[in-house]
Amino acid sequence: MTRAVSAVATFSTTNHPLTTASENPKRAAVLIISADRGMAGAYSNNAIKEGEQLAALLRERGLETKSYLVGRKAVSYYKFRNRQISGQWTGFSDNPTYEDAREVADALIEAFILDAQVDVNGVDEIHIVFTEFKSMLTQNAMARRMLPLEVVESEAPAPAGLLPMYEFEPSSEVVLNALLPRYIQARVFNAMLQSAASEHAARRRAMKSATDNADDLIKSLTRLANAARQAEITQEISEIVGGADALASASAGSE
């Protein structure tokens, strides 16, 4: 998909709304993907913090930010601070489907197509904040710009020689109209899947840490309970022995 979009965007002279940057950007949409449930360590907090840093950078550029949130944690964070939310989706953070991604992507594209200079709901840029899954031990919160189109090339080295030429049927504009919305949907879906995998990994790590801490606490409290029980038994034995000695001494004195 990335190679196809690269080909169309590179070898086309069509000024498509999804590939043309605004000369005077006014607003930017920020999509933050967090979790619906807790017990996942700092997973949601890291994504929200990355979104806060991105919003600060956008404001430094003079852009107004509009927040689009996925996950109850981000929604609760913004509602608690009485911040405006332009769009919110909950209930599928740990098991997203392509339909969920399409719903989110369509809302973002609709806001992007609107003229931000005229319509208060329009935006000139779309950014996404998600958690990249590296391994079960490493997950990184990161921000990426999606629109205007920022094609992410693969890490493979570019082939030597001339680049291939492309023909578009029926036209490059029609191809862009059909391809770019699906490209954005695919990127949003990929971000949701990586975030879901990161959420599961973070929750598993948090639960293992909680289990280990509980085991250590049980062992510590068991030792304290045993020590207290042994001290109580020792005290009772001492009192019994002391009482027996006292009785023996009293009997010897009366004789």
pLDDT tens-digit map of 11-22? 666 677 777 778
| Alpha helices (H) along the chain | 2-10, 43-60, 72-80, 98-113, 172-254
Q: Is residue 8's pLDDT more than 90?
A: no
Q: What is d(CA 151, CA 163) in angstroms, rounded to the nearest whole number? A: 17
Closest CA to 32 of 126, 129, 102: 129
Closest CA to 93 of 112, 79, 75: 75
Closest CA to 106 of 68, 66, 63, 78: 68
Mean pLDDT of 224-235: 91
Burial class from Cβ neighbours inside 10 Å (0-12, 13-18, 19+) for residue 8 reads: buried
pLDDT tens-digit map of 238-254? 888 888 887 877 777 66
Torsional sign, CA 87, 85, 32, 94: negative
Q: What is d(CA 99, CA 117) in angstroms, rounded to the nearest whole number? A: 31
pTM of the full structure: 0.80
Q: Is 21 helix (H, G, I), strand (E, B) or coil?
A: coil
Q: What is the CA radius of gyration of the chain?
A: 31
Closest CA to 202 of 73, 69, 67: 73
Closest CA to 138 of 202, 95, 194: 202
Q: What is the pLDDT of residue 183?
A: 87
- Residue 22: both structure tokens together: 């605004």
Q: Is residue 101's pLDDT more than 70?
A: yes
Q: Is residue 205's pLDDT more than 50?
A: yes
Q: What is d(CA 127, CA 145) in angstroms, rounded to the nearest whole number? A: 4
Mean pLDDT of 73-89: 95
Average pLDDT of the chain? 86
Q: Is residue 165's pLDDT more than 70?
A: no
Q: What is the pLDDT of residue 12?
A: 65
Task: For tokens 């919110």, name the residue.
Answer: 88
Strand ordering across the sheet containing 139-147: 87-89, 64-70, 27-33, 125-133, 139-147
Mean pLDDT of 218-240: 91
- How many C-beta atoms surround the C-beta of residue 96 within 10 A? 21
Is the separation of the CB atoms in 233 and 169 below 8 Å? Answer: no
Q: Which CATH number does 2-206 carry?
A: 3.40.1380.10
Q: What is d(CA 169, CA 175) in angstroms, rounded to the nearest whole number? A: 7
Pairing of the two strands 125-133 and 139-147: antiparallel
pLDDT tens-digit map of 47-76? 999 999 999 999 999 999 999 999 999 999
Task: Report CA-CA distances (Å) from 115 to 136, 174, 178, 211.
Answer: 43, 21, 21, 53
Higher-confidence residue of 213 and 10: namely 213
Single-letter amino acid code for the residue at 224: L
Q: Is residue 27's pLDDT more than 50?
A: yes
Higher-confidence residue of 15 and 42: namely 42
Q: Give the confidence band of 153 by pLDDT, cuts at 50, 70, 90.
A: very low
